Amino acid sequence: MHKISRPVNRDDSKNKSSGSAVYISDVIKPGMLAMAVKSADFQHGKINTIKKPELPEGYFYVDGKSFTGMNRASIVAQDWPFFAESEVLYFGQPVCAYTGPRIEVCEKLCIQTKIEYTPLPAVSVIEDAADFFNDYTIIKGNPDKSFKEAAQIFENQYRTGMQEQAYMEPQGMIAEFNEGKLTVYGSMQCPYYIKNSLKNAFNLDDDNVRVIQSITGGAFGGKEDYPSILAGQAAAAAIVSGKPVKIVLDRRNDMSVTPKRHPSLIKIRTAVDSEGNITAMDIDCRIDAGAYESLSGVVLERAIFISTGAYNIADVKVRGRTMKTNHIPSGAFRGFGGPQALFAADMNMYYLARKLNAAPLELKRRYLFQRGDISVTSGIFRDDIKLEEMISRVEEISDYSSKWAEYEKTSQAGDKMKGIGISFAAHGGAFTGNGEQEIIKSLVRLEWEPDKQTSAGGRLRILVSNVEMGQGASITLRKIVAEESGLPLEAIIFTNPDTDIVPDSGPTVASRTIMIVGKLIQDAAAMLKQKIEDDINSPSSVEKSYVHPPEFDWDEETFTGDAYPAYSWAVNVIEVEIDPITFEIKITGSWAVYDVGTPIDIKILEGQMQGGTAQSLGYSSIEKMQMINGKPAQVSFTDYTIPTTLDFPDTECVFIDNPYRYGPFGAKAAGELPNEGPAAAFTAAISQASGRMITEIPVTPEMLEEQLR
Amino acid sequence: MSDKLFSAGTLLPATIEEASSLIMQGFFPVGGGTDIMVRNHAMKKTGGRVKSPLFSCRRIEETTGIHTNGNILSIGSSCTLSSIIESSLCPAILAESLLSIASPGIRNIATLAGNICNASPAADSLPVLYILDAMIETAGSSGRRSIPVKEFITAPGTTSLKDDEIVVSVSFDSSICHDDAFRWYFRKVGTRAANALSKLSIAACTLVDNGIYSNFRLAVGACAPAVVRLSEAEDEINGKALDKGSELAERVIPVYTKALNPIDDQRSTSDYRRNTALKLIANLLSEGF
Ligand SMILES: Cc1cc2nc3c(=O)[nH]c(=O)nc-3n(C[C@H](O)[C@H](O)[C@H](O)COP(=O)(O)OP(=O)(O)OC[C@H]3O[C@@H](n4cnc5c(N)ncnc54)[C@H](O)[C@@H]3O)c2cc1C
C-alpha cells in the first residue's frame, strides 16, 4: 500500500456529526424572503389561463418573463425552462412562483393560483415514445458480416427502473442582487455550471455573477443539474423583489420535482458462430430522458460507450436514443448511464451462458477485456487490466464457484431458493469524449500565504471549483498537496468554492475530482514547493491547466477513439436467498474486488464502496420509483424505501494494486464504480435462485410472485 | 387555563376531566407524536385538517404503567412501545409484533394507543390485539367505556372514540399466553428490514392439547380495510388434529380468500398481498405451529 492510502481523520466529520455544520436552510440574511413554486398539476397541456390571487403587500409574482436573458437553464442543452411558457410538458413542472416574508403565505398563493390547460397527448414510458432528443450509432468491426455468418442468433431485452438520489439534505438556494451583482449560495456540485446558467438567464457578464457553495449534505449527481434551475428561480425572485430570497425544497417537494436516474430499455442481439463463440452484438439502447433534453445526451454517450460491459466483442453495432416522454427530465446519478448499460451487458452474458450451457463465469472470463484490446468506440485499452487476478481474489473471499455449483444442484431440485452471481464492471474515469480537453479545460490555482506564527511558515490554499459533498474531496485533495509539497496536512487549506475566488476546474462529476483535478494540483504543488523553498516569506502562487495526454485520440463527430483516458474495474459477487413463500429477498453475502489505481485514502474508499454497493443493491431490489401517468408515486421515504443498515450485509472489499500513470500518486476514478456492477451480480443470483432468467430491475417480491406463482 | 397544565412547554393534564375539557376546547391527545407529526406535515402542504394544538396524557396516572389484575393485563395508553416490549408481563407474541414497528428511536417514544388510534389497516399491533380479544378502555366526561378492539376501529383512519374521550389503556386476558399448550405465530412482510410499513401481516395463536387445536385464532393485517379475523374459519380448525393441517388448509383457504380484499398501492400489489397472505396461512397450518 502506498503511504498516501493510510487513512486520516476527515476534516468535516466533526461539524457534520455534531450538528454544527451550517447548511443552506440554516442561513438567514437580513430582510430575506421565502419563496414557493407553483408546480403544474397536469401532465401535458397548453396553458390557457393562469388565474392569480391578489398579492398581499410585500409579496411578488415571478414567472418565465422575469428572466432578462433566456428562460432556459444551461445544463449541457439549453432547453429546460425555469418556468413553463405556453405549454406544460410534465407533472410538477414549475409554472410560476411567489416570494414574500412568510413561506406559508407563498404556499397558499400557489394553492390559490388556478391554471387551465388544453390537454395534449402524453407519453409516459419508453415503449410509447416516438420522439427522441439524440440518436447515435457506433460501429466497431463488421457486425453485418458476423450476423450474416452466424450459426445462432440470440435476442433478449433488459430493463432498469428510475432511481431517486435520496441525498440527506434536500435542495436549497439563496439568491441576492445588489448593485447589479447577483450572488447565489446553495447546495451544489457544480458552481460554474450555475454561474454560466445565470449569466445566460439574466444577460449578466462574468463579473456580475457569483456562486458560493454551502455545505452540501449529499448529492450523488442530484445536485449537478437541478441546482441550476433552483438558482435561476431564486435569482429571478431576488431581482424582482430587490431582497435576498431563499428557497428550500421539503422532502416531498424535492422528490416530486427533481431529476432521477434514467430508466432504460436495452435490446441485445448476439451472433454466435458454429463453434459457440460470440462474434457480434447489435445493441439498441433507449433511455428515458423525460420532457427536456438537459444532460441526457451525455448520459447516453456513457451508456453506449460501455455497452458491451467489461467484455471484448469483436463486431458491434450500437444505436442509442434519448426518448422524449412527459415526466420530470431525467438527470445525473452516480454512474451516469453506466449502471443501465452494464446491467444489460452483464445480464446478456449470463443469458448467453444459460443458452450455451456454460457456467456464467466460464463464459464471461473468455471475453474480458485485456490490455491492447479495442473498446466499442475503437479506442485502445492501454493499461494493464488485472481482471484475472481480481477473479482469484474474489474466489478466495467469496468461494463463488463452489457455491455456484452447489446452488445449481439445489435450485434444480427445487428446494431452497439460494443463488450467487458474479459481475464485471468498467468505469471510464473523467468526462466523456472530448469533455476534459475541449469543454471543461480545467484550471487550478495554489496559493502560498506566509505566516511566521505557524510551524510550517505559512498556509497553502487549494483553489478549485470542485466541492466537498460528503465524498471526501476536501481531505483527499489536501492529502495530495500535503504529500507532494512535504508540508503538514494542517497547513493545507481547502474551503467551499466561491466563483469570485476559485478558477474553473470543472464540475464535481464523472469521478474526475481526484483523477483529473487531483493530478493538476499535485503538479501545481510540485511547482509551488520550489517557489516556497526559494522564498518562504513571500506570497506566491501557481496555476496549472489541463493538458490531454497526447496519445489519446478522440473524434467527437464519429465517436471514435479513446472515450476515457483510463478505466477502473470491479468484480462483484452477491449471494441471495429467496423466501419460497413470500419471495422476500435476503442478501446473504456481498464481496467485491476493485482496481481504482492507488487509493488516496483507504477508509474513504471503503466508505464509497460500502455506500455505493448498498445504493446499487437498493436500485436492484427495494427502490421502486413508479411514474404513474407521469406523476411520481413514491415521494416520501415511507414509500420510496432506500436500504437501512439492516437490509444488506457489509461488502467485503479488496483493492488491488495497479497505479495509473497519469493519476495523482497513481489514483484513478473510484466514486461511481461501486454503483456499476452489483445490480447484475444480484440479478444473476436471483436468476439462479429462482430458476428464471430475470431481465428487469428492481426485482421485487411482487414481480417474483407473479412469475413463480 | 390553569398554569399547572403546562410543563416544559407541553400541555399535561393530570386527570381525565382536565383531558376531556381540553378536547372540548379543540386540543388533540398526542402519544409519541410519531404519527401526528408526519400526518400534520402532509396536511399542511395539501390544505387538509391539521391536528393542533396537542396535549399529552402522560401525567394522568391511569394511562401509565403495565399492570395485571387477575388474568387481565392492562397496558396504559402512555406506555411506549419499548417499555411494553421490555416488560416481563408482555406476552411474546405482542412483543414480537411491536418489535416489528419502525426502529428503536421511534419505539422509544411511540405508544400502543397511538398505533391503535391511527386505525391504519397496516398498523402492526392490531392483528395481535384482535386475536387476544383486546379491549380498549376509554374515559371522558360521558363516563367510561370498554370497547372490543374490533368495534373500536370502524374504518381506515377512524375509531369509535367519542369527541370528549381519551384512550386510558388496552387490556386483555393474558392467561392463555402462559398456558403450556400455547403456541403463537407472527409474520410481517414489510417493504424492507426496518422502518418499514407492512405489505401484509399474519398473527395467529392456539392451544394444542394432545395434537388437537383449541382456541385457534388468526388475524390478517393490511389485506382489507380492517384487520380480518374469521370465526367461521377458526371454528373449522378448533377440535381438529394438528397433523391434518394440509386438509384444514384446503378447507379454510377459500374462506379467507373470500374475506381478503387488499388494495394496489405505492407499496405493493393486491395480488401479492392476497396470494402471500393465503400461502402463509396454508403453510402455517400444514407445517403446524
Ligand atoms: C419512520 C416511521 C416508521 C413507522 N413504522 C411503523 C410500523 O412499522 N408499523 C406501524 O404500525 N406503525 C409505524 N409507524 C407509525 C407510528 O409510529 C405508530 O403507529 C405509533 O405506534 C404511533 O404512536 P404515537 O404514540 O407516536 O402516536 P401519535 O402520533 O402520538 O398519535 C396517533 C394518533 O392517536 C391519537 N392518540 C394518541 N394517544 C391517544 C390517547 N391516549 N387517546 C386518544 N387518542 C390518542 C392521536 O390523537 C393521533 O390521532 C411508523 C412511523 C414512522 C414515523
Query: Grid cell 499535485 — which residue?
Result: A522
pLDDT digits (tens, 9 = 90+) for A161-194: 999 999 999 999 999 999 999 999 999 999 999 9
Q: Where are the alpha helices (DSSP H) in A94-241?
A: 103-112, 143-149, 191-202, 226-241
A107 near B CB under 8 A: yes
Average pLDDT over residues A268-273: 98
pLDDT digits (tens, 9 = 90+) for B46-88: 778 899 999 999 999 999 999 999 999 999 999 999 999 999 9
A53 near B CB under 8 A: no
Asked if the peptide bond before residue A94 counts as cis, ω within 30 degrees of 0, the response is: no
Phi, psi (rounded to 5 degrees) for A347: -70, -30
Ligand 1 atom nearest the C-alpha of B38 is 53
B137 lines ligand 1 (CB under 6 A): no
Cβ contact A581–B194 (<8 Å): no
Residues whose CB falls within 8 Å of the CB of residue A282, separated by 6 or more in sequence, listed in order: A143, A147, A268, A269, A270, A271, A316, A317
The SS3 of residue A540 is strand
B189 near A CB under 8 A: yes
Round the average pLDDT of chain A to a whole number and report it.
97
The SS3 of residue A683 is helix
B99 lines ligand 1 (CB under 6 A): no
User: Of A250, A582, A641, which is closest to B191 when you measure between CB atoms?
Assistant: A641
Read off the pLDDT band of A520 (50, 70, 90).
very high
- Distance from C-alpha of B98 to C-alpha of B81, rounded to nearest angstrom: 6
Common-topology check for domains B6-173 and B183-287: no
Common-topology check for domains A29-121+167-219+223-257 and A264-432+561-708: no
Domain A436-523 fold is: Aldehyde Oxidoreductase; domain 4 (3.30.365)
B114 lines ligand 1 (CB under 6 A): yes
pLDDT of residue A449: 98
Q: What share of chain B is helix, strand, coil (3-state, %, to 5)?
A: 35, 30, 35
Pick among B118, B266, B267 to test the A interface (most A CBs inside 10 A): B266
What is the domain partition of chain A in residue ranges?
29-121+167-219+223-257, 264-432+561-708, 436-523
- CB contact at 8 A, A200 and A209: no
Residue of A nearest to B265 (CA): A633
B62 lines ligand 1 (CB under 6 A): no
For residue B30, report the distance from its CA to the centre of ligand 1, in Å: 9
Cβ contact B38–A705 (<8 Å): no
**Which chain A residues are closer than 8 Å to B47 by Cβ?**
111
pLDDT of residue B10: 63
B57 lines ligand 1 (CB under 6 A): yes
Residue B156, pLDDT above cutoff 90? yes
Domain B6-173 fold is: 3.30.465
Average pLDDT over residues A291-313: 98
Cα torsion angle, A111, A112, A117, A119, sign: positive
Residue A14, pLDDT above cutoff 80? yes
**Which amino acid, one-letter code, is at A391?**
I
pLDDT digits (tens, 9 = 90+) for B95-104: 999 999 999 9
What CATH architecture is A264-432+561-708? 2-Layer Sandwich (3.30)
Read off the pLDDT band of B43 (50, 70, 90).
confident
B116 lines ligand 1 (CB under 6 A): no
Please tell me the number of Cα atoms within 13 Å of A576 on its side-chain side.
32
Read off the pLDDT band of A531 (50, 70, 90).
very high
Task: Quickly count: other Cβ atoms within 10 Å of residue A695's Cβ.
Answer: 20
- Distance from C-alpha of B225 to C-alpha of A344, rounded to nearest angstrom: 41
Pick among A635, A705, A706 to test the B interface (most B CBs inside 10 A): A705
Alpha-carbon gap: A47 to the closest alpha carbon of chain B (Å): 23
pLDDT digits (tens, 9 = 90+) for A29-76: 999 999 999 999 999 999 999 999 999 999 999 999 999 999 999 999
A707 near B CB under 8 A: no
pLDDT digits (tens, 9 = 90+) for A542-559: 999 999 999 999 999 999
pLDDT of residue B44: 81
Which one of B22, B54, B62, B115 would you pick to mutate in the ligand 1 pocket, going by the greatest count of ligand atoms within 8 A of its CB? B115
Read off the pLDDT band of B9 (50, 70, 90).
low
B207 near A CB under 8 A: no
B168 lines ligand 1 (CB under 6 A): no
pLDDT of residue B7: 53
pLDDT of residue B46: 76
B220 lines ligand 1 (CB under 6 A): no
pLDDT of residue A411: 59
Ligand 1 atom nearest the C-alpha of B35 is 29
Q: How far is CA A57 from the centre of its chain?
A: 43
User: Of A633, A646, A706, which is closest to B194 when you measure between CB atoms?
Assistant: A646
Residue B8, pLDDT above cutoff 70? no
For residue B107, report the distance from its CA to the centre of ligand 1, in Å: 10
Measure Cα distances from A638 to A168, A605, A641, B105 in Å: 14, 30, 6, 16
**Which chain A residues are closer than 8 Å to B280 by Cβ?**
581-582
- Distance from C-alpha of A329 to C-alpha of A324, rounded to nearest angstrom: 9
Residue B4, pLDDT above cutoff 70? no
Strand residue runs (E) in A579-692: 585-595, 627-628, 631-632, 652-655
Q: Which protein residue's CA is at the shortest distance from atom 21 of ligand 1?
A: B115
Q: Which CATH class is domain A29-121+167-219+223-257?
A: alpha beta
**Which chain A residues are closer than 8 Å to B42 by Cβ?**
252
For residue B31, report the distance from its CA to the centre of ligand 1, in Å: 7
Out of A308-322, A388-402, B4-18, B234-248, pick the least confident. B4-18
What is the domain partition of chain B in residue ranges?
6-173, 183-287
Residue A414, pLDDT above cutoff 70? no
Please tell me the number of Cα atoms within 13 Å of A13 on its side-chain side.
7
For residue A290, report the distance from its CA to the centre of ligand 1, in Å: 38
Residue A413, pLDDT above cutoff 60? no
CATH number belonging to the domain at B183-287, selected among 3.40.50.2300, 3.40.50.300, 3.30.390.50, 3.10.129.10? 3.30.390.50
Residue A587 cell numbers, joined: 442478501
Cα torsion angle, A409, A405, A573, A429, sign: negative
pLDDT digits (tens, 9 = 90+) for A462-480: 999 999 999 999 999 999 9
